[in-house]
Amino acid sequence: MKILGVTACPSGVAHTYMAAEALAKAAKKRGHTIKVETQGSIGIENTIRAEEVVDADIIILTKDMAIKNKERFAGKPIINVGVGDVVRKADIIVAKAEEVIAQKVQK
Amino acid sequence: MIICVPNEEVRGDVFTANIYVSAFRNYYIILKTILEVIMTQLVRTELIELNLKARERKDAIIELTGRLEQQGYLFSKDGFLQDVFQREEIGNTAVGFGVAIPHGKSPEVKQTAIVYGRSELGIDWESVDEEPVHSVFLLAVPEEKASNEHLRILALLSRALINEDFRQQLLEAATSEEISELLNEVTQQKVIES
């Protein structure tokens, strides 16, 4: 499964990066490919490219802060999650992403 | 007008002197590089407190700031504390997993540094999850440094903290040297594209 993620948090100094790391780690552990863009106080890093969006199966976005350039994901299945939940329960969120994809395939 | 034409002997001396100058210059460059490497060791063993006495957020920050002052990193302790507390007002710096990262960008800081403090009993960080804090990283950054530097260090540290092994190693390290090595490794690495 190809997962894309974008993380952001109110102060943009710690949780953005913790969430990105946690998500990447959890996804890789379950055998998925993943790329996580961080929108923190350093600016936007690891920017997701348009062709990567085309290939992606699912998009995971944190919902604590408005995600910049969100419109590029239009038409893709999106999961919105709290940044704190990503940090603490990234495994569960990746499992949920798998579920969403499975349901979509069944339909 | 007198024109001096150096004889063979003097020209030879100039040549030798040039060799000395160039050798000295190389030596200077090497020495400077070594010094730079040492300076980038942000976490020195003198800046590590294995047993924090404080049990509350404010006291823990004061205790760690004492270390910074003692090691000559600050122009003014009170001024720096004020900046750190101000940051703490904007948003609690406990990040979960029993870790807090208070930080201050302040004109009272002479040189960027990280102070690490460990508490076995735990510190009340007044955070939403009420989880006691066992590892505290206090980050001190001079005002004139581009704000990016301390943000980058924080980003690297935050990423590393997701790693349970890293957190465990910090808590279990027996000496300040071990901790200093762990932290320098983490804060100097480049972010691997995920």
Residue A59 maps to which CATH number? 3.40.50.2300
Give the residue from A81, A58, A47 showing the smallest Cα distance to A4.
Answer: A58
Q: What is the mean pLDDT of chain B?
A: 82
Is B162 an 8 Å CB contact of chain A? Answer: yes
A13 and B158 within 8 Å at the Cβ level: the answer is yes
B162 and A87 within 8 Å at the Cβ level: the answer is yes
Chain A nearest C-alpha distance from B163 (Å):
8
Give the residue from B25, B102, B24 showing the smallest Cα distance to B57.
Answer: B102
In chain A, how many domains are there? 1
Residue A86 has pLDDT above 80, yes or no: yes
DSSP chain A: -EEEEEE--SS-SSHHHHHHHHHHHHHHHTT-EEEEEEEETTEEESPPPHHHHHH-SEEEEE-SSPPTTGGGGTTS-EEEE-HHHHHHHHHHHHHHHHHHHHHHHH-
> Which H or E run includes B138?
strand B133-142
Q: Which domain holds residue A99?
A: 2-106
Query: pLDDT tens, B81-131?
Result: 999 999 888 778 888 889 998 988 889 998 888 899 999 999 999 987 789
CA distance B66 to B63: 5
* A18: nearest CB among B90, B151, B162: B162
Residue A71 has pLDDT above 50, yes or no: yes
Chain A nearest C-alpha distance from B133 (Å):
16
